């Protein structure tokens, strides 16, 4: 199970123009093709923050003309678009290696609890800052915005706990048919179950790394690799006595997290996701950079931060 961070779909400066995303996908999928050349079955998930951010700007600019597109729709659109880009890049990369590999993208829904505390008081900031008058128009459309002082107003949404991945059985069927599957992008499209058993999308953002961990559990992955822009998780990051982490037992890694070593907006969710996966499966989880994922999977323990059951 390979979770690509947001940096995997933008350029080095964080830009997300179509050409930037295509170029970044080509780099990421070249690494995946190497894994496939080693006879490793791969399921891919990815972030979609910059892409959803672009859609939110379009929402804001057009709010006086057309109703804003809800977040679950934004998630579905970006899953499909990024899936197409990744598939095209993977097809090209596997062809260069002479591999006959099929891939498929699955628009994937993730179940959340409608009574999750996040829906009562949304706290996850998304999108850009706006002046009060522009934010007020979006509040009229039912969105929640907060005054952030000099920077302006910013939208906040719920970030509920992922409970189940509705379409995981379809992922398993595609794996069984020999496909490399791109699924659950952006943590999945958040949905709740109505009283009659049907599903409804909700305005929320699911943490992509937690979604990756849950999908890894449900599809029976042998290892979860969270690919990011650093080679390892680090204790006391940015300080003179910073300490990169190699192989770490689950209990010790959880202690490090509780001690506050990993920032909530960056490494924290990745560590949480890896720990959840190891806890649920007794299989290893790895945090490392994209250029190290082949070693991370084919020779677990030789690169990156590797979390194992004690």
Catalytic center residues: 6-7, 124, 208, 270
Antiparallel, parallel or unpaired: β 179-183 and 102-106 = parallel
Contact 288, 225 (CB under 8 A): yes
Rounded Cα gap, residues 23 and 167, in angstroms = 29
* CB-based contacts of 150-156 (< 8 A; 24+ apart in sequence): 153/129, 154/125, 154/126, 154/127, 154/128, 154/129, 154/130, 155/56, 155/125, 155/126, 155/127, 156/122, 156/123, 156/124, 156/125, 156/126
Find the DSSP H helices in the chain. Answer: 18-37, 49-62, 71-96, 117-120, 132-140, 168-176, 208-218, 250-258, 267-281, 293-298
Q: Angle, to 10 degrees, between the axis of helix 250-258 and the axis of helix 267-281?
A: 150
Measured in residues, the chain has a length of 310
Contact 30, 293 (CB under 8 A): no
């Amino acid at each position: 199970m390979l979770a690509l961070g947001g940096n995997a779909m933008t350029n080095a400066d964080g830009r997300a123009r179509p050409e930037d995303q295509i170029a970044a996908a080509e780099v990421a999928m070249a690494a995946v093709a190497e894994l496939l050349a080693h006879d490793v079955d791969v399921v891919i998930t990815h972030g979609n923050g910059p892409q959803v951010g672009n859609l939110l700007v379009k929402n804001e600019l057009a709010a006086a003309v057309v109703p804003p597109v809800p977040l679950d729709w934004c998630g579905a659109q970006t899953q499909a678009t990024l899936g197409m880009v990744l598939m095209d890049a993977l097809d090209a990369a596997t062809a260069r290696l002479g591999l006959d590999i099929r891939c498929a993208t699955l628009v994937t829904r993730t179940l959340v609890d409608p009574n999750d505390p996040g829906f009562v008081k949304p706290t996850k900031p998304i999108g850009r800052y706006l002046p009060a008058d522009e934010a007020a128009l979006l509040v009229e459309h039912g969105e929640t915005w907060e005054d952030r002082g000099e920077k302006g107003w910013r939208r906040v949404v719920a970030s509920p706990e992922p409970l189940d991945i509705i379409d995981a059985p379809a992922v398993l069927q595609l794996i069984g048919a020999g496909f490399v599957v791109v699924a659950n992008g952006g943590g999945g499209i958040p949905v709740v179950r109505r009283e009659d058993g049907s599903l409804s999308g909700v305005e929320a953002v699911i943490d992509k790394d937690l979604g990756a961990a849950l999908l890894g559990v449900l599809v029976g992955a042998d290892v979860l690799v969270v690919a990011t822009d650093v080679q390892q998780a680090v204790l006391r990051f940015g300080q003179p006595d910073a300490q990169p982490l190699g192989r770490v037992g689950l209990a010790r890694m959880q202690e490090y997290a509780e001690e506050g070593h990993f920032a909530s907006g960056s490494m924290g969710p990745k560590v949480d996701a890896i720990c959840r996966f190891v806890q649920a499966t007794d299989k290893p989880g790895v945090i490392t950079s994209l250029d190290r994922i082949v070693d991370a999977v084919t020779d677990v323990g030789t690169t990156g931060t590797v979390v194992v059951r004690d």
